[in-house]
Amino acid sequence: MLILSSICVSYLVILSSNQTYQYQIFGQSPGQVQVPSGSELTLPNLFASASKSVVQVTIVEPQTGSQQGIGSGFVYDSVGHIVTNNHVVAFSMGSTEYIVTFLNGNAYEATLVGNDPFSDLAVLRILNPKATDVHPLTLSNTLPLVGDTAVAIGNPFGLSGSLTVGVISAVGRLLPTSGGQDSQFMGSAASSFDIPDVIQTDAAINPGNSGGPLLNMKNEVIGINSAIYSNTGSNAGIGFAIPSSTIKKVVQSIITTGEYQHPYLGVTGVDVTPQLAEIFGLIDAKGFLVTDITPGSPASRAGFRTGDVSYDQQGQITNSYGDIITKIDGNEVRKIDDILTYLEREKKVNDTVILTVIRDNQLTDISVVLGSRPTQQEGMATGPFGDQSAPEFDGGFSDCPSYVPQSLCDLFVQ
């Protein structure tokens, strides 16, 4: 199953509220090593340089002072903004307090600046930090390559200052979002949207690592650790990190406005399968078949048509009709992933996109002015899915959890 990698209260009972574990490599203290910017580091030097910027985020119930959860985060800028996961701070948002603790033991109260459940990112700001504690990490300007070394630093199971090493296993994954720790993973309206460009790594990530940085060997943040795939709740060698490109856009907007508005089409459908390609007379099984349109959405206003797919009792497709999106601004659409990735990488609210559509066996271009993605509450009112394929399951994926999209079942369920 896919789970969020942040630790919750069931793990905290094994730790004293005042207990802190600190690890140093070869006797080095955080910040002891100075390295040239952009240079490849050794692991000991990387840890010594980066660990002073990685923090433990503790969620506290204000009336009793009890710890409700724990995660990780890192320093974003010199004024004390801390980047972490939305699901870390959303444990009981509005009725909790946040304590940010550095590896040297210095702890600060923090306030929530804002959050974005659709990218699983949130920003805290620590109050009156010492200048010696505020060391921002640098966000990478490039996506990593499969096979690159990946280093995760965080607080697995509350053990602060832990470093794990692996490689980039894959890039460009789609990861379902979560509404927070107090809801089942991918169980809320936010789960109808996916985070594109997600990084997959085999660096050990466990509960409590959520919100910590995934670094390259130049001490640059390439992602923020957010989820693991596991049947046990512990590391199984498949972890996921939100990429630095997403962090840059979302975090800066949260700091400035308190939120981030994602571009939105308002379509629901399925990726074109070989069966659908045969029904529509297509040479290749590529494209995205629109089966439903959210009322009042940009796609609805642009004139998209509602389609349908019919199945027999064996789950075989017997008939289908509707608009098939084949390109977005001239870029090929093989499946919904391509649409989501393009929108998140290249577009913003109120931008215009040109969607090339097969309609009645003819190619036509439809111009769509992008809107703002609905909030979770609005999403509940308009339906369970938007801008993605509804999960499809057949006999080959009978063990796949009902809340996991087909794309992830393809990856993980044998």
Q: Which residues are known catalytic residues?
A: 87, 120, 210
Helices and strands of the chain, counted as H and E runs: 9, 26
Q: How many CB atoms lie within 10 A of CB 10?
A: 10
DSSP 3-state of 169: strand
Do the Cβ atoms of 63 and 96 come closer than 8 Å? no
Nearest CA to 164 out of 251, 239, 98, 102 is that of 239
Tokens describing residue 268: 């629901």
Reported for 366-370, long-range contacts at CB under 8 A and 24+ positions apart, including other chains, are: 366/302, 366/303, 366/304, 367/302, 368/265, 368/298, 368/299, 368/301, 368/302, 369/298, 369/301, 369/302, 370/263, 370/264, 370/265, 370/298, 370/343
For 384, the 3-state DSSP assignment is coil
Q: Within a 13 Å sphere around the CA of 372, how many CA atoms are in the beta-carbon half?
A: 6
What is the distance between the alpha carbons of residues 414 and 410, in angstroms, rounded to a whole number? 8
Strand ranges for 267-397 from DSSP E: 267-271, 288-293, 308-311, 317-321, 324-328, 331-332, 352-359, 362-369, 371-372, 388-389
Whether 215 and 201 have beta carbons less than 8 Å apart is answered as no
398: amino acid identity, one letter: S
What does the alpha-carbon distance between residue 270 and residue 323 come to, in Å, rounded to a whole number?
A: 11
* Length of the chain as a residue count: 414
Question: Among candidates 399, 385, 398, 397, which has minimal Cα distance to 186?
Answer: 385
Do 319 and 289 form a contact (C-beta atoms < 8 A)? no
DSSP 5: -
> Tokens standing for 191?
């789960």
Q: Give just the sign of the alpha carbon dihedral 353, 358, 364, 366.
A: negative
